[in-house]
Structure 1
Amino acid sequence: MIENEQQLKRNFGFFGTLSLVIGTVIGSGIFFKQGRVLQEAGSTSMALLAWFVGGIVTLASAMSVAELGSEMPQTGGIYIYISKIFGKFWGFLAGWMQISFYGPALIASVSYFFSTLFVTFFHLPAKINFGIFSLGSVFCIAVAACILIALMNMLENRVSRVFAIMTTSIKMIPIFALIIFGLFFGHAGATSSLVNLFANQIGQGNFGVAVLSTLFAYDGWVVISNLGGEIKNAQKTLPRAVTTGIFIVLLAYMGVSFGVFKSLPAKEIIALGDQAPFHILSGAFGPIGGRLMDIGVMISVIGTLNSKILSFPRVVFEMADKGQLPFSGFFHTLGKHSKTPNYATIFEIVIAALLLNAFSSSQDLSDWLVFVSFLFYLLTFVAVFIMRHHLQRKPHFSAPLHPLFPTLAIAGTLFIEISTIVNAFTDPTGQQLFGIIVSLLIVALGVPLYYAKKIYKL
């Protein structure tokens, strides 16, 4: 462990942490997944059930991580949990996965999506000229967004806390608008024949694929556990914020889906695809409604980007604290006044920028993340049983009906992993299989690094 007085500030209370949970999960998926889930499920009833099942699996996962967080309320999240339960080697690989690929790729993916929306909204040219050379507008705006949010996160973490609360509050406006319009003004939509659809179309969809789509939309909340060292009374606050946040997200996803289904016929929702929510608000409030929806989504995505850039450098910082990284003293340095891991933040942003330059779309990046990240989620959920066995008592936060929730979390994770493998081998382009192999190879690169650091004291 690095011997100095570097210590993060505990500036996140319950509402700040809750805002980060909600803001991390609710990015763009809530606005763009209804058509895909409806098409896969085969009916509005089954689509709503898919959102509910995905939410319950996610809530079970959150309950499981909350148990671990209540016993290990430290910076680092699953890196710490896996290190303490399965040993330093597996913990290192979990941390390495997050800081070398998963975290930067998520940052790159979210910033790319924000940039795409930004360029379209302001009708920017495809290329931006810099004298003798030019760069793509999407790439430039994405990198600029990463840098600006990173600079903000180099200030005291209370600034990030306030930003998280503001963006989460604003992103709820279009969500409430869709829910309220659907409930009170949507009379000729997909749910008008709800009973008939349930009776006649239950066997026509692929319910498993629909649930898988919702689970991807619910993903991302676990990174909040990385901030355990900056949360006030983390032993109690982290479990409460994570479980409450996921429950609110579940209600929001169900509400938005019901609002969309009640406002438009099923065939039109599928035909409109990603544009269905924009079409509804444009019809309700005219062109200004559509523009406000665009702004709401951009704010939603930038709030998610803030959560990612805030969270992942903390894993770099904690691994450096344990002396597990080359130049650990450098990465363990905090800002003199801000007490934030600024060098670790720069490290993550540089990798994210390289990934942005290497990939042509945010979808390419996000598709690669699923398999390897959920492998370590699986270890985390198994760790709940091991921890309870060693404790010989209930943890400080104890999920009810044990072992129901960790069992559901494990089942949901296995479903995602198996489905991803099946889809990879049936994908005619071979991109998914290629992504799985590359992501596993990146994790494998951590093995020689771990032993080189251990043997040669790099």
Structure 2
Amino acid sequence: MPPELEAEDDASRPLLADQREPQPAHDPERDGAPPPAAASSVPASERGTFTRNLGALEAFAIVISIVIGSGIFTSPGSIDTNVPSPGAALTVWLVGGVLAWTGASTITELGTAIPGEGGVQPYLQYIFGDVFGFLAAWTWIVAVMPATLAILSIVFVESIYSAIGVTDQAARIEHKLFSILILVVISVANSISTKASTRLNNFFVVTKFVTIAAVVLAGIVVVILQTSDPEKDVGGRDWFDRPWFGNREVTNPDGSKTDWDQLGGWEILGHYATALYGALWAYSGWDKAVYISAELQSPARQLPLAINSAVPTIILCFIAANTAYYILLPWDVVSTTDSVAVTAITRLLGRGFGIVAAVLICLVVAGSLLGNSFVAGRMAVAAANRNWFPRIFSYVGHIGLKPRRGDEIELPTEIPSPSSAAQSDAPINAILLSAILSALYIFFGNFRALLTFNGLGEYSFFFLTVLGAIVLRFREPELRRPYKPFLLVPVVFAAVSGFVVIRGAFFAPVLALVLIVLWVIGLGFYWAIKRLARQHGE
């Protein structure tokens, strides 16, 4: 998906500055869509809150840290259950990665063309109006990000218990309190400073690559041993004796069997859709780089570079790791376990190494927690800067009702000196809000329900955002786009994401209803804020 990159001077143009060619007068009929304005005429709160001290390497590391989380170690079993062969499973992983790449490329196009902090929020606001921008911010702040953090906290704790043989106690209050403790620790780490968060994140990125490399290396060793001595009993033998493509009888987690030769076309489509849903969960997080676009030094160059290097790297890691799983384990075991990496290492090297694998996976999940907590506060800051949320959530480096310097947020103009390194530049109030909401999700939710709920909320707005990018191609063809993938890229993603949302709503109507209720509450909150602002003459 080659981009069309414009002149190099666009690469250093701040994303929060006006990227567009001169536009016609603002149309008041577009519900609140912001008129073009130079950065110098925009209030400080609209120009940005954070110092531009991050580079492409940090953005690359954040995307890697968020995306490579629990999915690669927990999703393979659910995907394998819903496909007829290991070759088909690897194809699903490839398709899911390409779809994630199309979505990331489209979000990057918008991120380099439309100014604003907060992920998809400013894009929807510009394309469809104020209400859609607010609903995106509201959904991410009260649903998507808290659910994501709750899921990862739960997975972290369950990985520890699984390593000691406890697998059926997830609903116990002790497990929930332990999950909240992990969440608090990560939130505190992200409250120190942006640089501290990115440095810690880099450590977790190394851990992720080490863990995946260990799994892949184990698979390579088994291949070498079995090809040199076909009678040697090590790892699984199905990869050596059976075809990688071709229908087989799949063993399900409940012990039942699925005979693919007996399924009809509609049933097969349903199984593949379920498998793809699992892959998309594993790849979730590809959009998060745009949340820090306002903190990149040369965003129009660094953001595409980070996305187009991180996503292919992730696809390669996922396919290599899943290939190793099919080499290390009998194929009927892969479909029945939710801890495939720990199962594979334990079976190959024994229980002690299985515990080591569980510890490494916990570190991987901790990295995803850190990355998601890092960006969760950015959405609240952006919403507060637009007066969609209380101003307290726009403050950085401070806990409480008032910032250190007056009531207005000052735009940092230079990177802090070493003497000021102890001063936090993190949105502590916003991080605290995210932690509290996530704790509530942990208490009242469970892994499977939160997973579906998170997917419905996320992909509803991914669909709208990418659809908006397509609309914008025709409505404003003169819009300056430093990065512009082929039109087919957003079209493919819009079609698939729309299908995922519709299928998810039919599969979990109660959770879909909960999400709709949250939207209704959010609209009430939005109109109340607007009315209050008019009463105060704002």
TM-score by length of 2: 0.76
Q: CA separation in 1, counterparts of 2:218 and 2:424?
A: 44
Q: Tell me the distance in 2 between the aligned counterparts of 1:161 and 1:20.
A: 8
Asked whether the equivalents of residues 369 and 439 of structure 1 are also in contact (C-alpha less than 8 Å), the reply is: no
Query: Secondary structure at the residue paired with 2:481?
Result: coil
Instruction: Give, in whole Å, the separation in 1 of the partners of 2:52 and 2:218.
Output: 40
Equivalent position of 2:395 in the other structure: 333
- Amino acid in the other structure paired with 2:522: G
RMSD over aligned Cα, in angstroms? 2.5
- Which residue matches 1:381? 466
Residue 307 in structure 1 maps to residue 371 in structure 2: yes
Aligned residues, how many? 436
Distance 1:362 1:39 in 2: 19
Counting only pairs closer than 5 Å after superposition, residues 57-206 of structure 1 correspond to structure 2 as 57-72=99-114, 74-121=116-163, 136-186=173-223, 187=226, 188-193=236-241, 195=243, 197-198=245-246, 206=271
Structure 1 residue 340 displacement after superposition: 1.8
Deviations 1:318-369 (A, max 9, x none): 11111122x32x222111632221111111111111222222x222222212
1:319 aligns with 2:361: no
Unmatched segments (≥5 aa) in structure 2: 1-41, 227-235, 250-259, 398-403, 405-422
Q: Which runs of 5+ in 1 are unaligned?
A: 128-134, 425-431
Asked whether the 8 Å contact 1:46–1:207 carries over to 2, the reply is no
- Per the TM alignment, residue 121 of structure 1 is displaced from its structure 2 partner at its CA by 4.7
Q: How does 1:427-438 map to 2 (within 5 A)?
A: 432-438=508-514
1:287-306 per-position Cα deviation (integer Å, ceiling 9, x unaligned): 33212210111001111111
> Which has the larger share of helix?
1
1:99–1:315 CA contact under 8 A, matched in 2: yes
State the partner residue of 1:405.
Answer: 489
When residues 385 and 284 of structure 1 are mapped into structure 2, their CA distance, relative to the original with a 3 A threshold, is same
Measured at CA, do residues 241 and 196 of structure 1 come closer, stay the same or move farther in structure 2, by a change above 3 Å? closer
Q: Conserved in 2, the CA contact under 8 Å of 1:74 and 1:227? A: no
Q: 1:73 to 1:261 in 2, by over 3 A?
A: farther
CA 1:6/1:233 → structure 2, altered by over 3 Å: closer, same or farther?
A: closer
| Alignment-derived partner of residue 447 in structure 1 | 523
Of the structure 1 ranges 373-382 and 239-248, higher mean CA displacement relative to structure 2 is found in: 239-248
Matches of 2:362 and 2:531, distance apart in 1: 47
What residue is the counterpart of 1:349 in the other structure? 435
Q: Percent identity?
A: 21
Deviation for aligned residue 1:260: 0.8
In structure 1, what is the Cα distance between the partners aligned to 2:146 and 2:89?
32
Structure 1: distance between partners of 2:295 and 2:304: 14
Residue 428 (structure 1) aligns with:
none
In 1: Cα distance, 2:483 partner to 2:433 partner: 34
Q: Which amino acid aligns with 1:9?
A: T
After superposition, the Cα gap between the structure-2 partners of 1:147 and 1:200, relative to the gap in structure 1 and judged at 3 Å, is closer
Is 1:25 matched with 2:67? yes
Please say if residues 85 and 244 of structure 2, whose CA atoms lie closer than 8 Å, have aligned partners that are also in contact.
no
- 1:119–1:137 CA contact under 8 A, matched in 2: no
Q: Structure 1's 200 and 100: CA in aligned 2 closer, same or farther, altered over 3 A?
A: closer
Counterpart position of 1:222: 287
Can you list the C-alpha shifts for 1:425-453, whole angstroms capped at 9, x where unaligned?
A: xxxxxxx2111100121122111111111
The 1-side partners of 2:107 and 2:242 are apart by: 36
1:420 CA displacement: 1.3
Aligned residues of 1:25 and 1:217 also touching (Cα < 8 A): yes
Equivalent-residue separation in structure 2 for 1:243 and 1:320 (angstroms): 31
Pick one of 433, 437, 456 that aligns with 1:371: 456
Q: Which among 361, 380, 383 is matched to residue 297 of structure 1?
A: 361
Divergent runs of 4+, >6 A: 199-202
